[in-house]
Amino acid sequence: MTASFVNNLFEESDQDFAAQATAVFEYQYSHNKVYRSFCDALGWKRKEAIQPENLPFLPISFFKSHRVVCSGTEPVLYFESSGTGNTIQSKHFVLDPDVYEQSFLEGFRLQYGPPSQWCFLGLLPSYLERTHSSLVYMVNHLMQQSNHPANGFYLYDTDALYNQLQNLEAAGQKTMLFGVTYALLDFAEKYRLQSKHTIVMETGGMKGRRKEMIREEVHEQLKHAFGAIPIHSEYGMTELLSQAYSKGDGVFQCPPWMKVLVRDEDAPLSVKQTGRGAINIIDLANVYSCSFIATDDVGEVFEDGSFKVLGRLDNSDIRGCSLLAL
């Protein structure tokens, strides 16, 4: 079963986000038993004009305790969070992998141009050592789109990675290094590069290997290793099929089919489009699971829709996708 509006989700035209969100909401309310039960438990009532901030946002913890998926078709695959310590892992069941691939390929293209222009390297040891990683799936497919002969993942052979980066720099090849934070910091302690053609894409995550650090501190250490270039960041998570990117200033930009809002920590049903608070996300690419998610991150949303991640709610699990920030 395919939702009729899926093919229009990733168009670059200036479409009405509120109308798209309403269509996705009505589809999920009809086909996702978990989400519908949550909405009904809230006593949510449909208004004549639905605004995105007024829709019910499912707590992200439901992806740990429930099978959050629309009925009609069996999932083709699922993604699983990495988890830290003894935390329960989230599972995101994916009915149509093509939707995920359209989302991350178009989202990347909007920020960085065609993947075919890039060589992709992955320093993602903790993700490569397990299965069902949405990040590895994404980077692997970017490599397939690129088809550059030097594309590759690296576990612990950092000497080989360093040599490859030097070769690509010498060739003037645009290169993107996706790296989990603790592995990038380990790399930065051993090597120095003068990067002119390389973008370092920090994906978050200490995985219990290092003490938690604020993003600014991490990026300063990485700049020393990679030649004072801005360190880029990806904001993504198992429960989302879209990503936001920051190009070095800690301010993330969403693709057109993703929107970040903030809720009052003391009144979680009070949601606004700008300001500080706990982060709510509308990800229309999650059309076959749940597009309306109340995360455990705290942030600030600006007038243009960009946002910063400022930290985590108290008593929430430490995620692999975000760092602490001032």
Q: Which residue has the higher pLDDT, 320 or 287?
A: 287
| Domain-embedded: residue 211 | yes
Cα-Cα-Cα-Cα torsion 127, 73, 22, 245, nearest 10 degrees, comes to 20
114 located within any domain? yes
Domain with 215 in it: 99-235
Q: Is residue 312 part of a domain?
A: no
Residue 60 maps to a domain: no
Report the alpha-carbon distance of residue 75 to residue 107 in Å, rounded: 23
Q: What's the number of domains the chain is made of?
A: 1
Q: Where does the pLDDT of residue 77 fall: very low under 50, low under 70, confident under 90, or very high at 90 and above?
A: very high
- Is 260 inside any structural domain? no
Q: Average pLDDT, whole number, for the chain?
A: 88
Work out the pLDDT band at 129, boundaries 50, 70, 90: confident
Q: Identify the band that residue 156 occupies on the pLDDT scale cut at 50, 70 and 90.
A: confident
135 domain-assigned: yes
Of residues 317 and 228, more confidently modeled? 228
pLDDT in tens, 180-234: 989 999 999 999 999 999 999 999 775 555 566 677 888 888 998 898 789 999 9
Q: Which residue has the higher pLDDT, 127 or 235?
A: 235
CATH of the domain at 224: 3.40.50
Residue 206 lies in a domain: yes
Q: Highest-confidence range of 150-154, 200-204, 248-252, by mean pLDDT?
A: 150-154
Q: Quick check: is 266 in a domain?
A: no
pLDDT over 60 at 318, yes or no: no
Q: How far apart are CA 9 and CA 326, in angstroms?
A: 34
Structure confidence at residue 99 (pLDDT): 95
AA letter at 156:
Y
Query: Stretch 255-268: mean pLDDT, rounded?
Result: 94
Measured on CA atoms in the order 62, 93, 28, 238, is the torsion positive or negative? positive
The label of the residue with tokens 């099978």 reads 67
- Residue 319's pLDDT is what? 43
